Amino acid sequence: MSKSENDFRFKRIMVGMDGSSDSVLAFRYAVSRVKNTDDLLILCTVMSERHENVFQSLEPSFVYGESDDAVKYLNKYKKFAEKQGVKHVKLVLDEGESAGEVIIKDVIPHVEPDLLIIGSKSKKGIAKRFGSQAAYMAKYANIPVMIVR
């Protein structure tokens, strides 16, 4: 069975944003794919139920404590994407103890992206307790996952 080229075109690309340098690389890659098209770029971050970003402990230089700060963070990247020629940007902010689980079980079913792009950077310290979020998402997502580093 042969598929047409359009069957493999991703039109709803979601990027997991956690403030790490690898998530910024994932974002920049997504922008390069989406700019000057009518495709949708979805920027997503997950905060713990205590309103701390789950990845905060993974990236000491990236700290925000309230959802307003998370929205400002996502808006900063939205503005950058729009300046690069991305026409459609959606922001998604969710809560949960495990970012990977929240993205797989809650965000993807509701937002319905057809590609997830995430950073791969391995972290130190308390992050070991969380395991590899990228590996979890790649294993359990029901859509293609691109891991950038």
Q: 19 — phi, psi (to 5°)?
A: 90, -5
Q: Residue 48: its pLDDT value, please?
A: 72
Largest interatomic CA distance in the chain: 51
For every one of its 149 residues, what pLDDT tens digit does the chain have, with 9 covering 90 and above? 455 555 678 999 999 998 888 899 999 999 999 999 999 999 999 887 654 444 443 444 444 445 778 889 999 999 999 999 999 999 999 988 888 999 999 999 999 999 999 998 744 444 443 447 889 999 999 999 999 98
Residue ranges and CATH numbers for the domains of the chain are 10-148 (3.40.50.620)
Cα gap 75→77, rounded to integer Å: 5
Q: 13 — phi, psi (to 5°)?
A: -105, 125
Residue 127 near residue 58, CB atoms below 8 Å: yes
**What pTM was estimated for this model as a whole?**
0.80
Secondary structure (3-state) at 89: strand
